[in-house]
Amino acid sequence: MLKIFKKYYGYQWLGAIICGLLLPFIGRLLGMSGLHKVIWFYLVINGLYTLYLGYSIRRRGLSPFIMLALPVIFSGISTLALHLVSRQYGFYFGLMYIVLSLFTFFGDTRDDPDENQIPVENGFRDLNSNV
């Protein structure tokens, strides 16, 4: 079961559901002010998760389409369907989450395993060939 969970990006989907659905729902249950929800839940927690998600996807070689899970759940379900988040915040934060995950996805690649390989775009120059 754990192998299937990992194969179908279970941890990433679980994190997206927690950040996209559960946090806005908890904020409404606790009666938090809009300012505190925006700062702590939508900016800090979800922002840090999307930064980690972009790095994790690049590091593990996962499909980049999983970066769309949190923005779709947050903007689509929490904003449009359940009205947990106001529309003026929902779509803009969804775009911000995509941009943040792309920053770390395309960011510093010095620790990638293929960084020290020999580039072969123009072929090997030191090899002698009789062709």
Count of domains forming the chain: 1
Tell whether the model's pLDDT for residue 103 goes beyond 90: yes
pLDDT at position 123 over 60: no
93 inside domain: yes
For residue 124, pLDDT over 60 is answered with no
pLDDT confidence band for 117 (50 / 70 / 90): low
Summarised one tens digit per residue, pLDDT across range 35-84 is 998 999 999 999 999 999 999 888 888 889 999 999 999 999 999 999 98
Say if residues 57 and 3 touch (Cβ distance below 8 Å): no
Residue 76 resides in a domain? yes
Residue 67, domain member (yes or no): yes
For the packed helices 87-105 and 46-60, what is the interaxial angle rounded to 10 degrees?
A: 30
* pTM of the entire predicted model: 0.77
- Which structural domain range is residue 100 located in? 47-107
Judge whether 50 and 70 are in contact, CB under 8 Å.
Answer: yes
Residue 68 forms part of a structural domain:
yes
Dist CA 34 CA 86 (whole Å): 9
In a domain, 61, yes or no: yes
Asked if residue 52 belongs to a domain, the reply is yes
